[in-house]
Structure 1
């Protein structure tokens, strides 16, 4: 065990998870690669949990941060902040929400917490609908609506949470149905649930469940839900902390796969927009965002340095069509991985969109999760020079693959080959 690991265990909580039997200290990165303290180089297919969206040490972002830090780093929201206004204008424009207002936070957890505050205040209800197998953050309220037991350490909550079917296509009571029948059954479940409770404030849902193992419903499910929600005046919150900014390839936002009846009432975002700097936020219609009748500030949300990073990062993403790259390279990677696992009886499914890919592992001949093999594959991939993640609602047996959106075809092939070797070595 390393000296740094000993020190980590001496001062940090036991529940602060670390990957690998011999935990890794990453010291620097460039492009789609990172290096550890021993000088080993890795192809990064997890990007700091989907946070390094464009590339490590992206020159445009590094320059913007350096130049802004040389002027002023922080002043709080009590003062006008040009970079914050500029980034808010751009995000409001790309959000698709009419008359949008933007509030910046420092994380996705805080963004979802803010969205819940807005929705419950606007609707005067503390009941919230959430999806089974969901994850929305680490705060008290976000944990209270998380539908994934592995990431919900307490049943106490300031909210009453009711869980809806639909976030996981391949498991549960409706898994055997075709897509149309699956959506119909989930809508019927929602209607039945609403018949047994006072009207909730909102439904919060990840278009693709991140910690849950990159699972998703058929396209159009949330549009069908929206018809029911609108009839009851219930808001729709799209948690885009992991799916936003073009990662799914086909769309800029994950909700756009369910966009028959317009954008959500509230969108939350974080992770990729900062490319490693601490940015989260909420976009909502003005009537919802402005519903609070007390003063509020954000000491660190929207600080000048992070806003400069976000502006440079968003500009780079749009100017280099990284959404299109995610669609093209991600599509090739998914097909390559499906070919890799075709003869592996322990792989239940390869799923995902763009550069957001899940590989679910089960014990051969069963439908039971295989978390031990998932851990072993992570170790073997690291030895081969590849970093990936893991997750899932069934004992974290899904491998999570989410490289920076600038991934090249050659790097995708290299990563797939390393993962193929790791899977074979653990059969």
Structure 2
């Protein structure tokens, strides 16, 4: 069945549509932190559909909300008043920390970032955008144009002029040898120098923790320091919270809060985890920015009733059960367990991350040379052992990505760590 499905996949879908594993699997159903494939194999899920099943598979509160909403009306578009959309927007506006916030819903993080770039360039009357090296912001034409990761940017053509800034990767690059204070200072000086050579850009778009880039991040406070410089030049700050939002980092509800000196960003984008698998993205911005467009616009599927019902139920569950706190507690234990394992595996260069957003970078032992083959081998071994994880990295990095649903318990964290330990020790 799987082999037949793989052949059919290859005959009708693009060659560039990536599949994990030498023998790709079909996931047929899930419950809690586990999923099953079409062969009946059970897996502990440490990737959640790319950080999207953020709470749990088949969470009763979400499935009930979806079923009840489907029995009333699934969709009407934004041309009509939509109670679930208004209710979810009210909650997100309040949680965002952005004053006088307005929320626009989309169907994905790509579309959310595309919208944020449209708003920023229109508001600032500039098509120049600052982005971080090793970043990823989506697959649309404009989002690819601000993605600083060659492996996910298939064209140099873009409607935007993008300038890339240092700072997203702490342990590589020209400032890696500096301590945190001097690292931040050097990155700020680099930003100031860059701004001195160009007309003022519209915005800086940045992930507080780089997702596809391998869960890399700068020292706390970097983006706050950037914000002070940007503010002097009238440049907006867009925080891409598609992977870091909703409490995943444990210490904060939003990734930007680790850089919160001076207040929230001008805009934040979100997606993935809020829908717990349903297709929701969006932008939060101050009213003056959100309302700067002077043409009509709608969203056919952004904010549709069934996804908003799911988002409301999921957000309520996430807050009522303090899943941010659980990410901090269980994630902290998992990181320490993996660091203890890594101490005995020469190929592990670094275990990094926060909460339940953890990266394990692999290199050829004794060097800083990325070992992409080792990452793929560990991915395969983990799957064989009953664990699903992800992978990522830039041109000179390769890392395993670990991001379980936020309801992960201590026993499951220990189980997953044990499987990863065996997989890592299998590296030759």
SS in 2 for 1:158: coil
Q: Deviations over 1:392-424 (max 9, x none)?
A: 113662000000000000000000000000011
Q: Distance in 1 between matches of 2:342 and 2:178?
A: 25
SS in 1 for 2:212: coil
Q: Distance in 1 between matches of 2:101 and 2:146?
A: 25
- Alignment match, 1:362: 363
- Alignment match, 1:406: 407
Q: Distance in 2 between matches of 1:174 and 1:307?
A: 43
Q: CA deviation at 1:97?
A: 0.3
Matched, 1:29 2:30: yes
Q: Deviations over 1:168-197 (max 9, x none)?
A: 000000000000000000000000000110
Matches within 5 A, 1:247-286: 247-286=248-287
SS in 2 for 1:345: coil
- Alignment match, 1:222: 223
Matched, 1:135 2:136: yes
Q: CA deviation at 1:276?
A: 0.2
Q: Distance in 2 between matches of 1:87 and 1:305?
A: 12
Query: What TM-score results when the alignment is normalised by the length of structure 2?
Result: 0.99
- Alignment match, 1:81: 82
Q: Is the 8 A contact 1:390 1:396 kept in 2?
A: no
Q: Is the 8 A contact 2:206 2:240 kept in 1?
A: yes
Q: CA deviation at 1:278?
A: 0.2
SS in 2 for 1:358: strand
- Alignment match, 1:195: 196
- Alignment match, 2:64: 63
Q: Distance in 2 between matches of 1:148 and 1:348?
A: 20
- Alignment match, 2:108: 107
Q: Deviations over 1:17-55 (max 9, x none)?
A: 000000010000000000000000000000000000000
Q: CA deviation at 1:426?
A: 1.9
Q: CA deviation at 1:344?
A: 1.0
Matches within 5 A, 1:205-354: 205-354=206-355
Pairs aligned (count): 427
SS in 1 for 2:319: helix
**Structure 1 residue ranges without an equivalent (≥5):** none
SS in 1 for 2:349: strand
- Alignment match, 1:385: 386
Q: Distance in 2 between matches of 1:395 and 1:11?
A: 33
Q: Distance in 1 between matches of 2:26 and 2:329?
A: 32
Q: Distance in 1 between matches of 2:300 and 2:397?
A: 35
Q: Distance in 2 between matches of 1:338 and 1:369?
A: 19
Q: Deviations over 1:360-384 (max 9, x none)?
A: 0000111100000100000000000
Query: What TM-score results when the alignment is normalised by the length of structure 1?
Result: 0.99
Q: Distance in 2 between matches of 1:372 and 1:181?
A: 34
Q: Distance in 1 between matches of 2:94 and 2:225?
A: 25
Q: Distance in 2 between matches of 1:396 and 1:417?
A: 24
- Alignment match, 1:92: 93
Q: Is the 8 A contact 1:34 1:43 kept in 2?
A: yes
Q: CA deviation at 1:209?
A: 0.1
Q: Is the 8 A contact 2:390 2:401 kept in 1?
A: yes
Q: Deviations over 1:4-23 (max 9, x none)?
A: 00000000000000000000
SS in 1 for 2:246: coil
Q: Distance in 2 between matches of 1:138 and 1:328?
A: 34
Q: Deviations over 1:287-321 (max 9, x none)?
A: 00000000000000000000000000000000000
Q: Which runs of 4+ in 1 moved over 2 A?
A: none
Q: Distance in 2 between matches of 1:368 and 1:345?
A: 13
Q: Distance in 1 between matches of 2:385 and 2:26?
A: 17
Q: Distance in 2 between matches of 1:277 and 1:426?
A: 37
SS in 1 for 2:262: coil
- Alignment match, 1:53: 54
Q: Deviations over 1:213-271 (max 9, x none)?
A: 00000000000000000000000000000000000000000000000000000000000
SS in 2 for 1:186: helix
- Alignment match, 1:423: 424
SS in 2 for 1:2: helix
Q: Distance in 1 between matches of 2:186 and 2:355?
A: 28
Q: CA deviation at 1:391?
A: 0.1
Q: Distance in 2 between matches of 1:395 and 1:91?
A: 37
Q: Distance in 1 between matches of 2:103 and 2:38?
A: 39
Q: Is the 8 A contact 2:369 2:396 kept in 1?
A: no
- Alignment match, 1:9: 10
